Amino acid sequence: MALSDEFLDDLRRRADIESTVSSYVSLKRKGKILTGLCPFHNEKTPSFTVYPETQSYYCFGCGNGGDVITFIRNIENLDYMEAVKLLADRHGVSMPQDGYDSGLSKKRTEMYGANREAARFFHAKLYSPEGRQGLEYFYSRGLTDDTIRRFGLGYAPDSKDELIEYLISKGYSQQLLYDANILRLSERYDKKIYYNAFRKRAMFPIIDLRGNVIAFSGRRIHDADSDRKYVNTSDTLVYKKGSNLFALNFAKKSKSDSIILCEGNLDVISLHQAGFTNAVAGLGTALTEEQAHLLSHYAGEIFICYDSDEAGQKATRKAINILGKTTLKVRIIHMTGGKDPDEIIQKFGAEGFKRCLDSAANDVEFSLLSERSKYDISSPAGRSDYLKAAAAVLASLNSPVELDIYISRLSEEFSVNKDAVAAQVKIERAKRAKKQKNEFYREVRDSVINQGDKINKVNTQRTKALRAAKAEEILIASFMSEPELYRKLESKLTPELFVTDFNRRVFSAISERIKDGRPVGLSFLASEFTPEEISVIARIETVSTDISNSVRECEDCINVLKKEKNRHIDVKPSEMSDEDFMKLFK
């Protein structure tokens, strides 16, 4: 379904890019533009830029750019029409009733439906006679029926095909169920055999922020079994484990400005049942940068609550580094009397966990404790090495007051002159500044390379015809900014004059709209180009702020194209049609 210009214009006006992006990214105004840390890649220096005048955005670090629809597509992992529908729903814009349903969108919808039906099947089985051991397992973990129902917990029976038959009866194909990772495939003697991915397991549905069941995690019932402890859904069309968090759909509704980050699903469920409804967990992997960015949308402070064993502490240190790249405050919960939140609650109840929460250390205190455990502070050499390591930790502090408190504490505890500790911190700060400077230059270098790679991947002819491509880009930027310029130059410029195929496509799309008196902008082009292509067009559009947007400048570019055209013929004259050959002499 082709959306009308009137609909897109109305949506663009209501779904203002500044307010839309601000709900995902912390933006700071700089004159007519806004900047912030890019949500699509890790960076320490803001290179993500929003242009309210053109209702567009562009990241000079990773090259991601476009209009408000492209932004929603990328950050919510949606296709074009799904992003339009989401924005329309948010802003009360009625969608045209033309029955649109692309192949990809239809498959997503079917996959959501199949996952939902599978969750219903697992939950029903839990309360059936064959699911008794699953129900007893949840009861043994202290879960009530209300909690089991709230989280949609279930049981996968010990059957190869019962779930398959149920879902096929609901109208879902085996191929779709395989693509959704509900089924697995075995091929023997040139014959495909589908079987249930989950068998004899306690089932935890993974639900996204819009309430869709997107995946499952299946835990073995008995730890003595030789099977893997967990079987999880692999990445699918609707699920990316590094981009989602278990129970965030509930935690986002919490009135707290903090989120408790746990390792396991059962830890989260036990905390919710005990009243800590702001708990979430990763999905079988270490915390990712995408998950950290996601957390920053819903909280100002994170309590890391990983297991107290060596693996949990290692994961805590990694999580601190990742969360340190966001605006989130970080605190670490030390669990006294238990290895994880579930065990603390089982032993000491909600009050016991509340005490752990109240005594949580900040990231500096945790790092100091972690460094301390590495050294024998009973010896002079051990104390000296620890104080140097502690100074390296304190070198990251920006607050003079906070720094003075920690320096004073170390000075008193180890009977070392306060000035000596401060001097060591100064040395470590110099090392840190040098390292950050090197990282900054590396980031800038990588971003330039990445931008070039992204542009050249879309416009594959650009590097071979760079002079022509730049002239084309100035023309495109000029016409997008000032459509009247094209009308003045229309007789001098045709698509055939463009050297690179991609820029020719963009010019053709823009010029046709101008000829028809239709608006020109990224929102009106988004349905005709991929998100990657829109990013490149967004980057071209940013050029308009640095050029004159004049007839003279455009004429200069046209002259460049005329000179460059004959230098970049990909097809030999002998292989050209008579019509194309004659165009060379025009």
**What is the tens place of the pLDDT at every residue in 426-446?**
999 998 888 877 766 665 555
Residue 267 has pLDDT above 90, yes or no: yes
Antiparallel, parallel or unpaired: β 183-188 and 201-207: unpaired
Q: What integer is the mean pLDDT of 24-49?
A: 87
Q: Decide if pLDDT at 100 tops 80.
A: no
The DSSP symbol for 140 reads H
Question: Rounded mean pLDDT of 310-327?
Answer: 85
Residue 486: C-alpha distances to residues 355, 538, 561 (Å):
69, 19, 16
**% of residues, the chain, pLDDT over 90:** 53
Range 42-56 average pLDDT: 87
Strands 191-196 and 183-188, sheet pairing? antiparallel
For residue 261, which of 274, 279, 243 has the smallest C-alpha distance?
279
Any idea what DSSP says for residue 185?
E
Pairwise CA distance, residues 514 & 51, whole Å: 22
Question: What's the pLDDT tens digit per position in 216-261?
Answer: 999 999 877 778 889 999 999 899 888 899 999 999 999 899 999 9
Domains of the chain: 5-90 (3.90.580.10), 101-239 (3.90.980.10), 241-359 (3.40.1360.10), 374-436 (no CATH), 463-583 (1.10.860)
Inter-residue contact 152 to 117 (CB < 8 Å): no
- Count of C-beta atoms within a 10 Å radius of residue 173: 12
End-to-end CA distance of the chain, in Å? 39
CB burial readout 24-44, b (16+ within 10 A) else e: bbbbeeeeebbbbbbbbbbbe
Contact 254, 263 (CB under 8 A): no
Q: What integer best gives the mean pLDDT of the chain?
A: 88
Q: Would the pTM of this model clear 0.85, i.e. be above it?
A: no
Confidence class of residue 101 from pLDDT cuts 50, 70 and 90?
A: low
115 pLDDT more than 90: yes
Buried b (16+ CB within 10 A) or exposed e, 463-472: eebeebbebb
> Which range (198-207, 215-224, 253-262, 540-549) has the least confidence?
540-549
Q: What stretches of 196-340 show up as alpha helix (H) in DSSP?
A: 248-251, 265-273, 289-296, 310-323
pLDDT greater than 90 at residue 157: yes
Distance of CA 327 to CAs 202, 330, 364, 393, Å?
37, 9, 16, 19
Q: What is the 3-state secondary structure (H, E, C) of 388-427?
A: HHHHHHHCCCCCHHHHHHHHHHHHHHHCCCHHHHHHHHHH
478 falls in which pLDDT band (50, 70, 90)? very high
Please state, in angstroms and rounded to a whole number, the distance separating the CA atoms of residues 21 and 138: 41
> CB–CB of 203/138 below 8 Å?
no
d(Cα 372, Cα 382) in Å, to the nearest integer? 9
pLDDT of 571 over the 70 cut:
no
Give the Cα separation of 71 and 66 in Å (integer).
7
In this structure, what are the phi and psi dihedrals at residue 135, rounded to the nearest 5 degrees?
-65, -40
pLDDT of residue 586: 47
Most confident of 210-219, 314-323, 530-539, 566-575: 210-219
Cα(581)–Cα(561) distance, integer angstroms? 18
* Ramachandran bin of 325, using left for φ above 0, alpha for ψ from -120 to 50, beta for the remaining angles: alpha
CB 66 within 8 A of CB 535: yes
CA-wise closest residue to 51 among 69, 34, 65: 34
Structure-block tokens of residue 332? 């670490």
Cα–Cα distance measured from residue 202 to residue 485, given in angstroms and rounded to the nearest whole number: 65
Q: Of 74-88, 116-130, 367-381, 448-462, which has the strongest mean pLDDT?
A: 116-130
Distance CA 157, CA 122 (A): 8
| pLDDT value at 545 more than 80 | no
Task: Read off the pLDDT of residues 367-389 as tens digits, 9 standing for 90 and up.
Answer: 888 888 889 988 999 999 999 99
E strand spans, 243-392: 258-262, 279-281, 301-305, 329-332, 361-362
Measured distance CA(74)–CA(80) in Å, rounded: 10
- Strands 201-207 vs 191-196: parallel, antiparallel or unpaired: unpaired
Return d(Cα 348, Cα 57) in angstroms, integer.
Answer: 50
Q: Among 203-207, 281-285, 500-504, 513-517, where is mean pLDDT lowest? A: 281-285
Q: Which residue do the tokens 């192949």 mark?
A: 103
- Residue identified by tokens 């046709």 is 512
The Cα-based distances of 133 to 128, 145, 161, 199, 200 in angstroms read: 10, 15, 20, 13, 9
Cα separations in angstroms, 500 against 456, 505, 559, 584: 11, 9, 16, 16
